[in-house]
């Protein structure tokens, strides 16, 4: 190589390195953005959770507040209170507070930052998602049917998977309420194949009126909602496709929207 060529070569090398640095910085910035969005999505979920805690606590709180009324009445009237009666009330009190404390544990576990990849049972995560949402489902008369033939195990991040389920359930719930659907219903079906597990979640809210449908996965895309941020599905796709190398797909059926989460079993990808 002559001197001039050599100089040019080093110049190119330098430029390449500079470009690589710029690219790396941009990638890092994008990662930061994703992280921020992820926590925003969790905060939105947190808001929903608090809503659900208050629904789930209303009933036991009512029971608690009326638990000792008969005893108090007797004492006020000077009527003798039997030991058994007191014991029964105390047992009820213990049951109710245990239930309330379990609800809090469920929420706390969900929000724990569990970043470990693991093999988890799908049905357990579906149950956790349902438990966390059941308050507002009941309040809106939404029924949830779950069909799981076996109880397949998925390899991935279990809390993130639950977060995706919650995002999808929330969207279905929003559409069902907003469109005032009679007999609102969500069906979850899980099928296990040789290498993959497909979870289907379908509602009867009439479907998604966005074209092309894939628009809904774009960040900040929200449509027909007052308080939508448009993060839910973007985040869900990121979790399933980037973090768990699966697929999150959508289509409309005769009844409503249908989402498909495809994930893989251990040692399959």
Ligand X SMILES: Nc1ncnc2c1ncn2[C@@H]1O[C@H](COP(=O)(O)OP(=O)(O)OP(=O)(O)O)[C@@H](O)[C@H]1O
**What residue ranges bind ligand X (CB under 6 A)?**
44, 167, 171-172, 175, 203, 205, 208, 216, 221-225, 228-234, 257
Integer Cα distance of 21 and 36 in angstroms = 23
- Residue 220 token pair: 């900040």
Integer Cα distance of 164 and 259 in angstroms = 11
Integer Cα distance of 23 and 40 in angstroms = 26
CB 251, min distance to Mg ion, A: 17
175 interface partner picked from Mg ion, ligand X, none, CB below 5 to 8 A per type? ligand X
CB 113, min distance to ligand X, A: 20
- Residue nearer to Mg ion on the CB measure, 120 or 259: 259
262 interface partner picked from Mg ion, ligand X, none, CB below 5 to 8 A per type? none
Dihedrals phi, psi of 193, to nearest 5 degrees: -115, -175
- Residue nearer to ligand X on the CB measure, 60 or 228: 228
In three-state secondary structure terms, 254 is coil
| Closest by CA position to 176, among listed 200, 202, 201, 204 | 204
Per the CB < 8 A criterion, the answer to whether 125 and 161 are in contact is yes
- Residue nearer to ligand X on the CB measure, 229 or 243: 229
List CB contacts of 240: < 8 A, sequence separation 6 or more. Answer: 161, 164, 246, 247, 248, 261, 262, 263
- Residue nearer to ligand X on the CB measure, 17 or 225: 225
Integer Cα distance of 42 and 114 in angstroms = 13
Binding-site string for Mg ion from residue 230 to residue 259, where x marks contact by CB under 5 A and - marks none: --x---------------------------
- Strands 143-148, 185-192: pairing is parallel
103 interface partner picked from ligand X, Mg ion, none, CB below 5 to 8 A per type? none
Tell which positions 146-205 bind Mg ion, by CB under 5 A.
171
CB 170, min distance to Mg ion, A: 5
- Residue 128 token pair: 């956790």
CB 232, min distance to ligand X, A: 3
Would you count residue 45 as binding Mg ion (CB under 5 A)?
no
CB 176, min distance to ligand X, A: 8
């Amino acid at each position: 190589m002559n001197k001039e060529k050599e100089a040019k070569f080093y110049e190119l090398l330098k430029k390449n390195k500079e470009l690589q640095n710029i690219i790396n910085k941009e990638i890092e910035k994008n990662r930061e953005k994703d992280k921020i969005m992820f926590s925003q999505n969790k905060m939105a979920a947190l808001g929903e959770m608090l809503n659900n805690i208050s629904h789930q606590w209303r009933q036991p709180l009512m029971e608690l507040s009326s638990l000792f009324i008969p005893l108090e009445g007797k004492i006020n009237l000077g009527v003798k209170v039997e030991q058994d009666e007191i014991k029964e009330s105390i047992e009820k009190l213990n049951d109710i507070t245990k239930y309330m404390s379990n609800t809090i544990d469920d929420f706390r576990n969900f929000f724990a930052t569990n970043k470990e990849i693991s093999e988890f049972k799908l049905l357990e995560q579906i149950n956790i998602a349902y438990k966390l949402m059941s308050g507002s489902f009941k309040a809106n008369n939404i029924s949830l049917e779950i069909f799981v033939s076996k109880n397949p195990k998925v390899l991935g991040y279990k809390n993130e998977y639950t977060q995706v389920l919650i995002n999808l359930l929330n969207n279905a719930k929003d559409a069902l309420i907003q469109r005032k659907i009679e007999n609102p219903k969500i069906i979850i079906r899980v099928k296990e194949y040789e290498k993959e597990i497909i979870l289907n979640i379908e509602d009867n809210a009439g479907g998604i009126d966005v074209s092309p449908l894939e628009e809904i996965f774009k960040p900040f895309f929200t449509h027909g909602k007052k308080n939508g941020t448009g993060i839910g599905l973007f985040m869900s796709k990121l979790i399933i496709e980037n973090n768990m190398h699966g697929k999150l797909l959508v289509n409309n059926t005769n009844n409503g929207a249908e989402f498909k989460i495809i994930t893989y079993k251990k040692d399959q990808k």
